[in-house]
Structure 1
Amino acid sequence: MQTGEPSPRRIFEPLCGKIGRDRVDQVIHAFYATLRTDPMLHGFFDGIADFAGHESHIADFWWVALGGTLEQPRQFDMLGRHQGLALTPAAFARWLALFGETLTEYLPIELAAQWLKMAEAIAANLQRHTL
C-alpha cells in the first residue's frame, strides 16, 4: 500500500449472517433435546410447562446475541432466570461440553468455535452471579 492510499475497510459480519436463523433454531432444538435426556441436567428443565416456548425464547436470545434482530423485540433476563436453580460448576461444565458437541455437529468448526466462545463468556458471567 502506498502512502496516502486509504486503508482497506474491515467489514464486520456478525455470526448470525454466517450461521443463519434456521441453523440457530436447529442447533437450539437439538441441544435442548440432549439436555432433556442428560442424567445431570434434565432436572433443570423438567418443570418447564411450555417447553416449546422456552426453546423459542432461547433461540431468539442466541439469534440476538449472534448479532441478529427480531421483528418483535423480547426481554432476556438470563441472570434472573438462573438465580435459585442451584447450579454448580459441574453443571456449567456439562452444559458447555454438550453445547460444544452440538455446535460441532451442526456447524463448520470455525463457526462452532466462535459461538462456543460466546457461550463460555455467558456461562462465566452467570457463574459469577449465581453461584
Structure 2
Amino acid sequence: MADISIVSAAYEHKATNAGITEAEIRRLIPAFYARVRRDPMLGPVFDGIIDDRWPAHIETVISFWLYVIRLDRSYNARNFIPAHIKHATIRADLIPQWLALFRETAQDLCPADSATVLVDIAQRMASSLEISLNKRDGDAQ
C-alpha cells in the first residue's frame, strides 16, 4: 500500500512553486465533485456511497488535498486507501473517467502550473488506488 506521506513530501515543493493555495483547492474540489455527480458513469457510484453526506465528503477531500500539498496536516493519510477499497462499487475501471474529469476541472479552474502539479498528484494517487482495488478484486498483475 502506498504511503501518502511520501507522495505528500515529494510534492510539497512542486505545489509551493506552482503557488497552489487553500483557496484554489476549495474552489477546485467542489467544482470537480459537481462534475462527478453529473457524470453518468461516476455519479451513481458516488451518490450511492455518499448519499446525503456530500458537504462532509467534500471537506474530507479538501483536507486530503491540503495534506498532500502540505498546507494542512489534519487529514489522517492512512484512511485514503481503506476509505475507497471498502466499497465494492468503486472499481479500477472507473479511475480513467475520474482522472479525466479531474484533469478537465483542474485545467478549467486553475492556473496552468497548478493544474499540472495537481493532475500529476492525482495520477499517482490513482495508480496507487488502482493497485489496491485490483488486489481487492483479485486482478493484481
TM range (shorter): 0.7 to 0.9
Letter in 1 for 2:113: E
Aligned partners of 1:14 and 1:67 also within 8 Å: no
User: Paired residue for 1:7?
Assistant: none
Structure 2: how far apart are the matches of 1:116 and 1:64?
16
Q: Deviations over 1:3-39 (max 9, x none)?
A: xxxxxxxxx7451571211110110010000101100
Superposed displacement of residue 78, structure 1: 1.4
Structure 2: how far apart are the matches of 1:36 and 1:117?
23
User: Paired residue for 2:8?
Assistant: none
Aligned partners of 1:44 and 1:85 also within 8 Å: no
Alignment of 1:55 onto 2:30: no
Secondary structure (helix, strand or coil) at the match of 2:38 reads coil
Letter in 1 for 2:15: L
Moved more, 74-83 or 93-102: 74-83
Instruction: Structure 2: give runs of 5+ residues left out of the alignment.
Output: 1-11, 135-141
Pairing of 1:32-71 with structure 2 (within 5 A):
32-47=33-48, 48=50, 49-70=52-73
| Sequence identity (%) | 26
Give the greater-gyration-radius structure (CA). Answer: 1
Residue 82 of structure 2, aligned match among 80, 83, 95: 80
Superposed displacement of residue 85, structure 1: 3.0
Alignment length (residue pairs): 118
Structure showing the higher helix proportion among its residues? 2
Q: CA RMSD in A?
A: 1.8
Structure 1: how far apart are the matches of 2:62 and 2:90?
21
Alignment of 1:15 onto 2:15: yes
User: Paired residue for 1:97?
Assistant: 100
Aligned partners of 1:41 and 1:91 also within 8 Å: yes
Secondary structure (helix, strand or coil) at the match of 1:87 reads coil
Letter in 1 for 2:128: N
Q: Structure 2 length normalisation: TM-score?
A: 0.76
Structure 2: how far apart are the matches of 1:66 and 1:51?
23
Secondary structure (helix, strand or coil) at the match of 1:113 reads helix
